[in-house]
Amino acid sequence: MRVLFVCLGNICRSPTAEGVLRHQLQAAGLADHVQVASAGTGDWHVGSPPDSRTCKAALGRGYDLSGQRAQQVKAGHFAEYDLILAMDESNLGQLRAMRPEASTGELDLFLRRYGAALDEVPDPYYGGADGFEQVLDLIEDACKALVLEIKGRV
């Protein structure tokens, strides 16, 4: 199975989701069965590591995001990934607009799909440290539900 997380710049929310899911898949013994990546709808940060505040918050919970580099979503991703999960409605709308007609991969809003209290992962970029912690809380919970779905698929 192949999972792609998408946010705006691929430096805060989606790399966090990538790192958390990788960690949870490893703990569940599923890491060899699932390919996980992240991307952004924008191109501003292509090639850059995740935001330093994102990395600091993630590392505080045991997730090392330092090896990740931002990339932009491309039409080819729709054929490459089975499940593409957007962090917010704006990202989802952009993905729907660029999705090739022949695409068979699933496209959904990450939190809404996995029963979170919020539908969208808020963008912490312009806020303080508490926003990055909230993002981690939401993503950790949603990834637990995603891992259960993956167990049923692989």
Q: Is pLDDT at 118 greater than 90 in this prediction?
A: no
Active site residues: 7, 13, 123
Cβ neighbourhood burial of 30 (10 Å; 0-12, 13-18, 19+): middle
Q: What is the pLDDT of residues 22-47, one digit of tens each?
A: 999 999 999 999 999 999 999 999 99
Angle of CA points 126, 109, 91, to nearest 5°: 50
* pLDDT for the residue numbered 51: 97
Record the pTM.
0.97
Q: Which of 7, 87, 96 is nearest to 45 (CA)?
A: 7
105 close to 83: Cβ distance less than 8 angstroms: yes
Q: Which domains does the chain have, with CATH numbers?
A: 2-153 (3.40.50.2300)
Average pLDDT of 68-91? Answer: 97
> Whats the size of the chain, residue-wise?
154
Residue 100 or residue 115, greater confidence: 100
Residue 32 or residue 116, greater confidence: 32
Confidence band, pLDDT 50/70/90 cuts, at residue 3: very high
Cα separation, 12 vs 48, in Å, equals 11
10 Rama class: left (phi>0) / alpha (psi -120 to 50) / beta: left
Average pLDDT of 5-27? Answer: 98
Q: Which of 93, 108, 98, 97 is nearest to 142 (CA)?
A: 108
